[in-house]
Amino acid sequence: MKRTLIVVIIAFSSFTYLSAQDIDSIVDSLVARRSITEKVTLKLSTYNSSEWFEVAGSNGQPGFDIRPNDAIMNRVGFNYRFLSFSYKFLISALPPNADDEEKGETTANGFNFALSPGQWATDFSWDKTKGYYLRNTDDFDNTWMDGDPYFQFPNLESQIFRARIGRVLNPEYSINAVTTQTEEQLASQGTFLPSLRLTYYTVNDKEPFGPNVTTTQRARQFEAIFSVGYLYTLVLGKGFYTSVDLRPGLGYLNTGLLTRFANANDIETNTDHFVTGFDTDLQLGYNSSKFFTGIRGSYDHYEHDQYETSAARITNERLRVEFFFGIRLKAPEQMKANLDKAEANMLKYMVKRKLRREERKKQKLNQN
């Protein structure tokens, strides 16, 4: 069963992602990048905060800056070749997360699955968070002072579904060397990376958004962002490297908001927006045959045109700092053998398909 599942995954990736250009570039890319096929990686990451959102104010009223009590998040991952799976979790007992009396209790978890064969890079993720607090409580309570409990929303829950797909245009650049550490960048390289990111948010509160507020809201957002970024990895030597990227993007945002009143009919609004912004990352890392470690800083900034509406506006990962550490272990022989066989069959199929395509081109030329 395990063997069949692995073969199915490999076959799916070959049909969907690989192209003739991938086949042509395999030999050339060996000079600048190396796939660590004999080892699996176990990776632990710790980073500051998860995602939060803002609700824009209207008619002269202040907005709402609503955040979870998750100053420190954690993620554990398993990576092998171009497959990656990770699980996100929150440890409430950690000192930065333990101020429940002031900010309330938050529970959060999620998972991520990445598939990056050849020059393709894709990932799919789901995150769920419950329990938020109102960071700008002082806008609603003039007597509030630092150290006082924030206004809390223990039943406020959000879910985020995200899918990304992109293609590395330079076959000698390894995105896996930076993200999953299943490859090694042997020589400094840069590349352009066109990509599409799709995100769907749902936010539902069963309590008012602050003191003196009698309404509750349920919001959903769909966002599609297309970006063309540039990534560069500088190999410093002796296992050290640094990587930087800048990805400007634009896209579409649709927001739907249901406002529920205690003594009146509910109001539902729907708005469309044109979105522009950018993402940028800076990473410093170290690689060895047995372990790897590094630090990564990320900043995201996206804006959209504003209308006179109270629709929810969700902000993702404005500023994040992540520390990661991982170990490399010998891959189980059966797993390695299954993937070797599947990749060999995949390569044979792609070569045959390319030859058939070339033969059809020749036939068309002869007919003309």
The CA distance from 233 to 242, in Å, is 6
Which tens digits make up the pLDDT trace of 41-57?
Answer: 999 999 987 677 776 66
pLDDT (average), residues 165-193: 94
Confidence of residue 302 (pLDDT cuts 50, 70, 90): confident
293 and 211 in a common domain: yes
pLDDT (average), residues 282-288: 96
Stated pTM of the model: 0.79
Strand 107-115 and strand 120-134: pairing? antiparallel
Number of domains the chain is built from: 2
140 and 78 in a common domain: yes
Q: Is 214 exposed, middle or buried (0-12, 13-18, 19+ CB in 10 A)?
A: exposed
282 and 187 in a common domain: yes
Question: Domain range spanning residue 13?
Answer: 1-30+332-368
Confidence of residue 305 (pLDDT cuts 50, 70, 90): low
pLDDT, residue 363, reads 82
357 and 266 in a common domain: no
More confident residue, 273 or 326: 326
Confidence of residue 205 (pLDDT cuts 50, 70, 90): confident
345 and 318 in a common domain: no
Which tens digits make up the pLDDT trace of 207-220?
Answer: 665 556 667 778 88
The CA distance from 94 to 91, in Å, is 6
Confidence of residue 22 (pLDDT cuts 50, 70, 90): low
Confidence of residue 3 (pLDDT cuts 50, 70, 90): very low
pLDDT, residue 325, reads 97
Which tens digits make up the pLDDT trace of 26-37?
Answer: 444 457 888 888
Q: What is the CA radius of gyration of the chain?
A: 24
Q: Which residues contact 294 (CB under 8 A, 6 or more apart)?
A: 283, 284, 285, 286, 323, 324
365 and 248 in a common domain: no
Confidence of residue 13 (pLDDT cuts 50, 70, 90): very low
